[in-house]
Structure 1
């Protein structure tokens, strides 16, 4: 159990950072749960979640901005769906920047689309930072409060929190693998059905 504890303390911040960047809410909730278990400081879980979310979205925005004049991007922007999305983004930029992290399926493409739009880089950076901090706080605190609920419910079992931590880490791992597989399955099926 000491090895698991040491690993969670050493690599937990990295896992929360990468999870916030590439997976989303589940990793951030797990970071809050680890903070409740005193394996990570709460401020560190919040900071790693904010930084991971902010940096990936900032990078995707910059990629959209850098390649918005590329022929394939210009062609994509002329399709009715993309044009409608850009119109919505430019009409409600603050609302969209604060909302896209919560919209299933739009998490990774939205910053690219915003980069293609006319929204200024400084404006996006400031809104992105505020949005990432709010998103991280919501889901980290959900994990933290969930830990309090679990502890209140099962607190009478001595040593139970260690088993619960292991179970939470395993569940998060299974969820991440399932999520990646779910996203990759249509592409793999299309590739092998040709």
Structure 2
């Protein structure tokens, strides 16, 4: 176990950066917990996660804006979800840039949808930078301060490891059902 913690404290920042390019919620929570345990630095973890999350969203917007022909074949089966992201953007405006940071599944679609519109890239970059910082700070601090509770929770489930996959399956299944329902033709 000590080897794993040593490797995470050594390579954890690289893993955090790479994972945060595509979302990073689990990585920043993990970094917050490792910071609580004293194996990572919380401030550095928050900064890395915010920067990577910002870069990841900017890449997606640029892909949507300047590589439409290359990107659209990959999203052929997700056209309705992309349309939902554009509808949410029209309905909620700039707030959706913040909301999508916290809703699994919207992280990729909203920046691509924004990239397909004529939305100002400078405005998106400014809002995205602020939202990325808020996202990283909120998840980093919450996971850090919940570290004691989560450690107790993990030790409880250590004896009942079969519950964790059931919980994760139920959570991911409900997210999938929601997006299937939200994008269903009516």
Say yes or no: TM over 0.5.
yes
Q: Deviations over 1:110-159 (max 9, x none)?
A: 11101112210100011111111111111111210121435799xxxxxx
Number of aligned residue pairs: give it: 167
Aligned twin of 2:30: 30
Over 3 Å off, 4+ runs: 68-73, 79-85, 148-153
After TM superposition, give the deviation of residue 21 of structure 1 in Å: 2.4
Check if 1:132 corresponds to 2:160.
Answer: no
Provide the aligned C-alpha RMSD in A.
Answer: 4.2
- Per the alignment, residue 6 of structure 2 pairs with 6
Gap regions ≥5 residues in structure 1: 154-162, 165-171, 181-194
Distance 1:71 1:40, change over 3 A: closer
What is the distance in 1 between the residues matched to 2:83 and 2:123?
21
Tell me by how many angstroms 1:3 deviates: 2.9
Q: For residues 64 and 147 of structure 1, do their structure 2 counterparts lie closer, same or farther at Cα, with a shift above 3 Å needed?
A: same
Mapped contact 1:54–1:128 kept (Cα < 8 A): yes
Q: Which blocks of at least 5 consecutive residues in structure 2 are unaligned?
A: 157-163, 173-186
Structure 1 stretch 19-28 or stretch 117-126: which is displaced more? 19-28
TM-score (norm 2): 0.69
Structure 1 position 9, deviation (Å)? 1.6
Does the 8 A contact of 1:46 with 1:137 survive in 2? yes
Is contact 2:101–2:107 with CA below 8 Å preserved after alignment?
yes
Cα distance between partner residues in 1 of 2:41 and 2:70: 44
Q: Which piece of structure 1 moves more, 142-151 or 82-91? A: 82-91
Compare CA radii of gyration and give the structure with the larger one: 1
- Is the 1:90–1:119 contact (alpha carbons within 8 Å) kept by the matching residues of 2? no
